[in-house]
Amino acid sequence: MLLRSLLPVCMRGVRSAGTPRVMHQLASTTKPALDISGIYPPISTPFDEREQVDYDKLEENLQKYSSIPFRGIVVQGSNGEYAYMSREERLEIVHRVRQKLPKEKILIAGSGCESTQATIEMSRQMGEAGAEAVLVVTPCYYRGRMTSSALVHHYTKVADSSPVPVILYSVPGNTGLDLPVDAVVALAKHPNIIGIKDSGGDITRMGLIIHKTQHLDFQVLSGSASFLLAGYAVGAVGGVCALANVLGAQVCELERLCVSGQWQEARKLQLRLIEPNAAVTRSFGIPGMKQAMEWFGYHGGNCRSPLVPLTEQEQKELRGFFTNNGWL
């Protein structure tokens, strides 16, 4: 009922098929520094049997993704296992992806580290490696002290120094920390902070952020395919969706239906994506996503330890979520 009640008022930020992308902030008269509207897969990193990055398979995945109407690619997000990589590996992946990615596609690179100084340096290097924007996850190791004041200070320092625009990244499922709304609103005023990827799944919170920043050039991306329709309904401009690694064309079709106002068709498709998305995120995580990629003709590859592959029983359960919704 919530989604149905939202549909009549969600046309803000919607574009008709064949028309240029528009921002949801109609009150703004200036263009954003970088329009990030659209769908992005936060691509996985295939590892070989020795748990080394398999760059050949990574490039083959990029080639296959080139036929899907993604707006761009996110590298070194949570699904890329960035937390298990060296600085050199992270930068090399960004460099190689930029070389293979068409020029019109946007490359967003995760540059978040625990310290502000390390994040500043990583953001600078990501920009030099070819990223058009950096995605900065909340530092969380000392989460008890990560107050709004501390987070505003952190992101302001990073944005002041970054050579490319900054996108905030709130993913409480991994960090145990939600970027507070008041901090997001304060940071949205920074000229080099252009948006947020919100993976928490609280549509009320997402709508409140959009409402409080609608006079600014600030863009909100849904952080999951499970609530992509709901995100568009309250004014989000796109999504960074793990499921797009597996069902990229279908996630992009959901985007098309939403932005062209075909809400009944969008609702039917959204419902079929909820269980598969939950399976490759909350239920089975990265090992599940990589297994599903293999079924759909992509290279998931091995995970890097301490992540381990799915058991046979887990694979059976995972496959059920795709078959029961008509995808396999």
How many Å apart are CA 242 and CA 81, to the nearest integer?
Answer: 12
Kindly state the tokens that stand for 13.
């930020």
Angle at 70 between CA 68 and CA 71, to 5 degrees: 150
How many other β-carbons are positioned within 10 Å of the β-carbon of residue 230? 20
Active site residue 197: yes
DSSP state of 93: H
- Phi and psi (nearest 5°) for 134? -120, 140
DSSP helix/strand/coil, 104: coil
Sheet of strand 193-198, all strands in order from the earlier edge strand to the far edge: 38-40, 238-240, 219-222, 193-198, 166-170, 133-137, 106-110, 72-75
Kindly state the tokens that stand for 29.
């008269």
How many Å apart are CA 140 and CA 209, to the nearest integer?
Answer: 21
Angle at 326 between CA 323 and CA 328, to 5 degrees: 50
How many Å apart are CA 276 and CA 328, to the nearest integer?
Answer: 11
DSSP state of 86: -
Q: What does the chain come to in residues? A: 328
DSSP state of 218: -
Cβ contact 233:257 at 8 Å: no
Catalytic residue among 197, 212, 268, 290: 197
Cβ contact 112:83 at 8 Å: no
How many Å apart are CA 170 and CA 162, to the nearest integer?
Answer: 19
Kindly state the tokens that stand for 177.
């920390």
Question: To 10 degrees, the CA torsion angle through 314, 317, 318, 319?
Answer: 120
**Residues with catalytic roles:** 197
